[in-house]
Amino acid sequence: MAPEPPPLLTMDGITKSFPGVRALDGVDLEVRAGEVHCLLGQNGAGKSTLIKVLAGAHQPDGGAITWRGEHVTLKSPIAAMRLGIATIYQELDLVEGLSVAENVYLGHEPTTAGFVVRGRDARTAAAALLRRLGHTEIDPARLVGELSAAQQQIVSMARALSHDVRLIVMDEPSAALDPDEVANLFRIVADLTAEGVAVVYISHRLEEIRRIGDRVTVLKDGRAVASGLPAESTPTREVVALMTGRDVEYVFPERPAQLPLAEPLLTVRGLTRRGEFAPVDLEVRPGEIVGLAGLVGSGRSEILETVYGARKAEAGQVLVDGRPLKPGSVRAAVRAGLGLAPEERKAQALLMLESITRNVSVSSMSRFSHGGWLDRGAEFKAARRATRELSLKPDLPSAPVRTLSGGNQQKAVLARWLLRGCRVLLLDEPTRGVDVGARAELYAVIRRLADDGLGVLLVSSEVPEVLGLADRVLVLREGHVVHTAPARELDEHRVLDLVMEGSPAS
Amino acid sequence: MTQPATPAKQEGPLLDGGGPRKSTSGDGAGPWSGRLFRPDVRTLSLIGVLVALALIGGVTKPDEFLATSNVQLILTQASVIGVVTVGMTFVITSGGIDLSVGAIVALASVWATTVATQEYGFAGILFTAVIVGVGCGLVNGLLIAYGGMVPFIATLAMLASARGLALQITEGKTQMVSIPSVLDLGERDAYLFGIPPLVLVFAAVTVIGWLVLNRTTFGRRTVAVGGNAEAARLAGIDVRRQRLYLYLLSGLCCGIAAFLLIVLAGSGQNTNGNLYELDAIAAAIIGGTLLSGGRGTITGSVLGVLIFTTITNIFALNNLESATQQIAKGAIIVAAVLVQRRTSHTP
Ligand SMILES: Nc1ncnc2c1ncn2[C@@H]1O[C@H](COP(=O)(O)OP(=O)(O)OP(=O)(O)O)[C@@H](O)[C@H]1O
Ligand SMILES: [Mg+2]
């Protein structure tokens, strides 16, 4: 190591425990100026915890942090920011009631006399940052609560760039982004590293690591099992084996030889919501997985939510087993056997303070009740079976969902519908934030559910996922279905062409 | 259970045509920018209610209601609760609640009118009222921000103890003020261009409150803490210190209000400020401040206060029972919140 410059950051033997969980068990991390250092690991491996220690948001129980050759303690987020460490957190951390510019400069507003906010300066500066990020369409004066998830991600990024940074930590920044957005993100990362800024990059999409990563550190169960591997030359299989401790075949489950010919379970006819999507027709048969491919904002999630009754259709019908559902009624949809795993699990699906068990059983409560009394033993057992099937970690049914890692929260939502045993499963981005190992399991579970006679309607930004898992694919662009075909007749390029064609540059 | 989706899902070409939201206005830095000058639907509807009330007052008691002295009376009565409501608006915007405001007003008003305090004259009374208010706010703030107590509980405890202490000081008696300079403030001679000094204080507190909430880092932090405390913490805001300051601010407003009340009544009483907490919370809520935090409007709160005070006035002029008046207030709160739910759903 003698001829090399000292690393920008060294974290040495960092430990951190939460009640009942040892999240970090002596992790080392070394980051050099100007590199993209990728942090890999399964859900719950401790990646987010580690970067929260680095951001001053968690206090470590033990270990040492060296920044530019000096020993430092990061007592608060402010302390880390002062050193030039900015963080884009996995769970969006914006204030919805404040404008874009106000969020970008929250905590370090440009001021006169130290307390009067120079609003116009903040807006101009925020607009410049957004331009640098290639998003001039986001108005700095707009409320963040009115933006889409992808746009909010951009605002988080602008916020990180608003500091004078030497190190930017990005915790799964690409999870909510479209392919062209991801390309945009990579361009920004390249600009930053060219200026000598270091980037710590977390993602479950291994192909991204190879595209932008310089070196890789792999975490497993709160320990670094490999550090400083070269990102380009280390085979994916090896990385996955390090992460999971076994060989995972990253393949999709077999499709049944021929599509079932039964009557459709779910029929959607002329479903419309103006400004969101044009009239949509689709059918899902028992045993069939139908995929909706399209960009963020192409109306995919809106279609799912409307089918589910969470949004009220302006026109059109949803039929289950040929019987029409009452429009705009989630109750009716659930009674008829529809289940939705929504995109934004934190806001839309989870009771964050409640235990895993209760989150899983909430839609099946009647099954465990006798005259209104809950049989908690049965509830516990059933919920645990469902979570074990998805290998949700930690295996502590009483742990509050809030304390789960991002990918495991997703599994809790899926476990709910697994337990409920619905007939048509609507899955919105089911693998967002889910690690490779669990992904393969999830795919297998979804296919098995279909083989048992369920219908599945699947939305995903990851084209290979739709193509690999679905039997039939509908391609959406700006609220219109532009193409329908069996998945085996499509390939990734074709779908991307269809999805992007004529779409605005943003 | 899965609930209806967030309304903010539209994006891109569908919605970005630049609606009225696109504030290209010069001044102002956010959602409330310029709201004092370019009112939004919510503010307009509150003004509408106020106008309707004025019409009712004018029709039922044409001579009395519109008399200058009656308008002065309404504004004077609004001043005391108005100052309290400005402080309450900050606390609610930050996601908290202060149930102790009425009790603090009572305690500050009796402490400032004891025989011992009155020996120090005008300054003694003013100073004591403010210090007692700030002191109670400090206790609230420390318990909540650093003691980890829920605001509801901490301020409920303060309510009980401050009222008890006020009773102990007065032994239930009314403490008359004998300082002429204090009493003179309430007299007609002290009016500036027909505006009572108390109303001027109220106006000043309102303007300062508006500026602080909309134009300063303090206001920005208040909204951030109420909207998403974890995000505020990660943005480097000292959330606990901010909470402490907010309860101090509420206490300060109570101290000022107590002084106004002393001027108005010429005395201090342990029953002062009865149910102010409910009036202040109600005024803030019908004004458009979110009870769950993250959004606050001083303009709305002040309009809310004026609406309530006008109702009281109309009922008094028409010799209606206070029971009927309570029912009317309740109905207005429900109506206002329902109207706001409708208007705030259009993105
Ligand atoms: N605030 C908390 N309280 C209790 N346990 C926690 C808390 N935060 C994280 N944990 C636990 O610490 C472990 C590591 O979680 P962490 O969020 O760091 O995982 P991760 O590697 O980021 O996973 P993912 O890829 O799913 O985001 C998990 O077992 C999680 O349940
Ligand atoms: Mg994480």
Which tens digit of pLDDT belongs to each residue from A64-74?
Answer: 999 999 999 99
How confident is the model at residue B17, as a pLDDT? 33
Contacts of B28 (CB under 8 A, 6+ apart): A119, B34, B214
Respond yes or no on whether the N-terminal peptide bond of residue B13 is cis (omega within 30° of 0): no
- On the question of pLDDT at B157 being above 80, the answer is yes
Q: What's the token pair of residue A414?
A: 């899926």
Q: Which of A14, A10, A12, A13 lies closest to A30 in space, CA to CA?
A: A10
Q: Which of A475, A502, A498 lies closest to A293 in space, CA to CA?
A: A475
Q: What is the pLDDT of residues A17-30, one digit of tens each?
A: 998 889 999 999 99
Share of chain A above pLDDT 70, in %: 96
φ, ψ of residue A332 to 5 degrees: the values are: -60, -40
- On the question of pLDDT at A418 being above 60, the answer is yes
Of the candidate ranges A10-14, A290-294, A402-406, B8-12, the one whose mean pLDDT is the lowest: B8-12
Q: What is the pLDDT of residues B221-232, one digit of tens each?
A: 999 999 989 889
How confident is the model at residue B62, as a pLDDT? 87
How confident is the model at residue B24, as a pLDDT? 34
Which of B2, B28, B221 is nearest residue A119 as measured by Cβ atoms? B28
Mean pLDDT, to the nearest integer, of A93-108? 92
The dihedral through the CA atoms of B307, B313, B315, B320 has a sign that is positive
How confident is the model at residue A1, as a pLDDT? 45
Contact A302 B9 (CB under 8 A): yes
N-terminal to C-terminal alpha carbon distance within chain B:
24
Enumerate residues 68 to 127 of chain A having a beta carbon within 8 A of any beta carbon in chain B. Answer: 76-78, 81, 87, 89, 93-99, 101-102, 106-109, 111, 114-120, 122-123
How confident is the model at residue B262, as a pLDDT? 95
- On the question of pLDDT at A15 being above 60, the answer is yes
| Whether residue A173 has its Cβ less than 6 Å from ligand 1 | no
Near ion ligand 2, which residues have CB within 5 Å?
Answer: A 48, 90, 405-406
Q: Give yes or no for B234 touching A (CB within 8 A).
A: yes
Query: What band does B304 get if pLDDT is binned at 50, 70 and 90?
Result: very high
Q: Give yes or no for A332 touching B (CB within 8 A).
A: no
Q: Which residues of B touch A55 (CB under 8 A)?
A: 234
- On the question of pLDDT at A80 being above 50, the answer is yes
Mean pLDDT, to the nearest integer, of B322-338? 82
- CATH 3.40.50.300 region(s) of chain A? 9-244, 250-337+423-506
How confident is the model at residue A32, as a pLDDT? 95
Query: What band does A433 get if pLDDT is binned at 50, 70 and 90?
Result: confident
Mean pLDDT, to the nearest integer, of B247-265? 96
Q: Which ligand is nearest to the CA of A89?
A: 2
Query: What band does B247 get if pLDDT is binned at 50, 70 and 90?
Result: very high
Minimum CA–CA partner of A97 in chain B: B294
Query: What band does A62 get if pLDDT is binned at 50, 70 and 90?
Result: very high
- On the question of pLDDT at A50 being above 80, the answer is yes
Contacts of A172 (CB under 8 A, 6+ apart): A90, A202, A203, A204, A406, A433
The residues facing A168 across adjacent strands are A86, A199
- On the question of pLDDT at A258 being above 80, the answer is no
How confident is the model at residue B137, as a pLDDT? 98
Contacts of B168 (CB under 8 A, 6+ apart): none
Share of chain A above pLDDT 90, in %: 39
How confident is the model at residue B85, as a pLDDT? 98
Q: Which of A374, A418, A416, A380 lies closest to A398 in space, CA to CA?
A: A380
Q: What is the pLDDT of residues A456-489, one digit of tens each?
A: 999 988 888 899 899 999 998 888 888 888 888 8
- Farthest CA pair distance, chain A: 75
How confident is the model at residue A259, as a pLDDT? 66
Query: What band does A44 get if pLDDT is binned at 50, 70 and 90?
Result: confident
- On the question of pLDDT at A285 being above 80, the answer is yes
* Of residues B18 and A500, more confidently modeled: A500
- On the question of pLDDT at B254 being above 60, the answer is yes
How confident is the model at residue A250, as a pLDDT? 60
Q: Give yes or no for B347 touching A (CB within 8 A).
A: yes
Query: What band does A249 get if pLDDT is binned at 50, 70 and 90?
Result: low
Q: What average pLDDT does chain A have?
A: 87
Q: What is the pLDDT of residues A364-376, one digit of tens each?
A: 887 888 877 888 8
Contacts of A316 (CB under 8 A, 6+ apart): A268, A269, A270, A271, A272, A279, A280
In this structure, are residues B105 and B84 in contact, taking their beta carbons and an 8 Å threshold? yes
Q: Min CA distance, B10 vs chain A (Å)?
A: 7
- As a dihedral over the C-alpha atoms of residue A282, residue A286, residue A292, residue A298, rounded to 10 degrees, the angle is 50
Q: What's the token pair of residue B141?
A: 């703030």
Q: Give yes or no for B346 touching A (CB within 8 A).
A: no
Q: Which CATH architecture fits A250-337+423-506?
A: 3-Layer(aba) Sandwich (3.40)
CATH 1.10.1900 assigned to B33-344: no
In this structure, are residues A96 and A144 in contact, taking their beta carbons and an 8 Å threshold? yes
* Of residues A145 and B12, more confidently modeled: A145
CA–CA gap between residue B311 and residue B325 (Å, rounded): 8
How confident is the model at residue B37, as a pLDDT? 47
Q: Which ligand is nearest to the CA of A345?
A: 1
Mean pLDDT, to the nearest integer, of A424-439? 85
Q: Which of A414, A359, A360 lies closest to A390 in space, CA to CA?
A: A414
Q: What is the pLDDT of residues B101-145, one digit of tens each?
A: 999 999 999 999 998 888 999 999 999 999 999 999 999 999 999
In this structure, are residues B90 and B213 in contact, taking their beta carbons and an 8 Å threshold? yes
Contact A95 B227 (CB under 8 A): yes
CA–CA gap between residue B209 and residue A404 (Å, rounded): 41
| Whether residue A49 has its Cβ less than 6 Å from ligand 1 | yes
| Helix, strand or coil, per DSSP, at residue A382 | helix
How confident is the model at residue A439, as a pLDDT? 82
φ, ψ of residue A71 to 5 degrees: the values are: -75, 130
Return the top range by mean pLDDT from A234-238, B40-44, B209-213, B228-232: B209-213
Q: Which of B112, B155, B85 lies closest to B267 in space, CA to CA?
A: B112
Q: Which of A340, A386, A352 lies closest to A367 in space, CA to CA?
A: A386
Enumerate residues 4 to 43 of chain B having a beta carbon within 8 A of any beta carbon in chain A. Answer: 4-6, 8-16, 18, 21-24, 26-31, 33
Q: Which residues of A touch B8 (CB under 8 A)?
A: 145-148
Q: What's the token pair of residue B72?
A: 């002065």
Q: What is the pLDDT of residues B14-26, one digit of tens each?
A: 333 333 333 333 3
Strands A223-230 and A455-460: unpaired
For the stretch B18-26, contacts whose Cβ atoms lie closer than 8 Å and that sit 24 or more positions apart, written own/partner, are B18/A139, B21/A139, B21/A141, B21/A142, B21/A143, B21/A146, B22/A139, B22/A141, B22/A142, B23/A141, B24/A141, B26/A120
Enumerate residues 272 to 301 of chain B having a beta carbon within 8 A of any beta carbon in chain A. Answer: 290, 294-295
| Whether residue A18 has its Cβ less than 6 Å from ligand 1 | yes
Helix, strand, coil shares of chain B, percent, nearest 5, are 70, 0, 30
Assess: ipTM above 0.95: no
How confident is the model at residue B193, as a pLDDT? 87
* Of residues B186 and A87, more confidently modeled: A87
Contacts of B289 (CB under 8 A, 6+ apart): B89, B92, B93, B295, B296, B297, B300, B301
Q: What is the pLDDT of residues B173-185, one digit of tens each?
A: 999 998 898 888 8
How confident is the model at residue A248, as a pLDDT? 64
Q: Give yes or no for B238 touching A (CB within 8 A).
A: yes
User: CATH homologous superfamily of domain A9-244?
Assistant: P-loop containing nucleotide triphosphate hydrolases (3.40.50.300)
| Whether residue A398 has its Cβ less than 6 Å from ligand 1 | no
Enumerate residues 207 to 226 of chain B having a beta carbon within 8 A of any beta carbon in chain A. Answer: 215-221, 223-224, 226
Which of A106, A117, A301 is nearest residue B216 as measured by Cβ atoms? A117
Q: Give yes or no for A439 touching B (CB within 8 A).
A: no
